[in-house]
Amino acid sequence: MPFVESTYQAPWGFSNGHVQSIYPAVWRQVPPVEWTRRRIDTPDGDFLDLDCAGPRSNRVVILSHGLEGNSRQPYIRGMAHAFMKRGWDVVAWNCRGCSGEMNRQLRFYHSGSSDDLGTVLAEVLQQDRWKQAALVGFSLGGNQTLKLLGERGDAVDERVVGAATFSVPCDLVASSLCLGEWQNRLYMARFMKTLRQKVIEKERMFPGELDIAALGGMRTFRQFDDRYTAPLHGFRDAMDYWQQSGSGRLLADIRVPALMVNAWDDPFLAGRCFPREEAETNPNFWLETPRHGGHVGFVTRGRGGEYWSETRAVEFLTELAG
* 295 in catalytic set: yes
Q: Which of 176, 233, 295, 309 is catalytic?
A: 295
User: Is residue 223 helix, strand or coil?
Assistant: helix
Please answer whether residues 109 and 96 qualify as being in contact, where contact means their C-beta atoms are separated by less than 8 angstroms: yes
Q: Identify the pLDDT of residue 253.
A: 98
Q: Identify the pLDDT of residue 128.
A: 87
pLDDT, one tens digit per residue, over 152-173 is 999 999 999 999 999 999 999 9
Q: Which of 139, 167, 176, 247 is catalytic?
A: 139
Q: Identify the pLDDT of residue 3.
A: 81
Q: Identify the pLDDT of residue 283.
A: 96
* 21 in catalytic set: no
d(CA 36, CA 193): 29
Delineate the domains of the chain, giving CATH numbers in brackets.
Answer: 3-171+246-321 (3.40.50.1820), 173-245 (no CATH)
d(CA 177, CA 147): 20
By C-alpha distance, which of 226, 228, 193 is closest to 212? 228
* 65 in catalytic set: no
List of the chain residues with pLDDT < 70: 1
| Angle, alpha carbons 231-118-105 (nearest 5°) | 40
Q: Identify the pLDDT of residue 4.
A: 86
| Angle, alpha carbons 139-144-146 (nearest 5°) | 95
Q: Identify the pLDDT of residue 99.
A: 98
Q: Which of 46, 51, 171, 266 is catalytic?
A: 266
